[in-house]
A = this chain, B = another copy of it.
Amino acid sequence: MMSPAASLSAIPIEHRYFEDYVVGALVDCGTIDVEEAEVLAFGRRFDPQPFHSDPDAAAKGPFGGLIASGWHTASLMMRLFVQRYISSVASLGSPGASELAWPRPVQPGDVLRVVISVIEARRSRSKPDRGLVRSCIEVFNQRNELVMRMNVINMLSCRDGGFPLP
């Protein structure tokens, strides 16, 4: 029998349901590159503070250079969350998150690794066809320094009768 830490990763993402997200399960979601062009494009559209959107001003600013918007870091994390962690057939969205932290800046050229673990899982009381999973997401840079952490809640259909119908 596999440990909880290993078993979730072993289930193809299109076969994961609420029941598979057991406390202790841990998924290494791999890495994603932080590209300067996207840091700038994201910053200019969504977070036009100089240190996210203007390389010259950023060089003279509080971080000594360009850094990624925290929302860009979160969005890059989300791509791996969707590709490697959350079920592609049973996800019903998220009501929210807590304890979102950006303890260190993220710079262009960084390579981010996302590691996610299940910290709580329970059937919904009001809607028994689904369950709620609380996950701890940690994002590290190539020096293994923590650059983002958050806890997120996801709703997931149960294998025995959710959406879409089995």
Q: Which residues of A contact B (CB under 8 A)?
A: 42, 45-49, 51, 60-63, 67, 69-71, 74-76, 78-79, 82-83, 86, 88, 91-103, 105, 150, 163-164
Contacts and interface: CB of A to CB of B under 8 A. Distances in A.
A75 B46 contact: yes
A102 B95 contact: yes
A92 B62 CA distance: 7
Nearest to A87: B49
A40 to B, nearest CB: 14
Contact of A47 (B42, B48, B62, B79): B79
Contacts of A47: 75, 78-79, 82
Given A95-B103, A98-B99, A163 B48 contact: no
25 contacts: A42-B75, A45-B75, A45-B79, A46-B75, A46-B78, A47-B78, A48-B79, A48-B82, A49-B82, A49-B88, A49-B93, A51-B93, A61-B163, A69-B75, A71-B71, A71-B74, A71-B78, A75-B75, A95-B101, A95-B102, A96-B99, A96-B100, A96-B101, A96-B103, A98-B99
A136 to B, nearest CB: 14
A150 B70 CA distance: 14
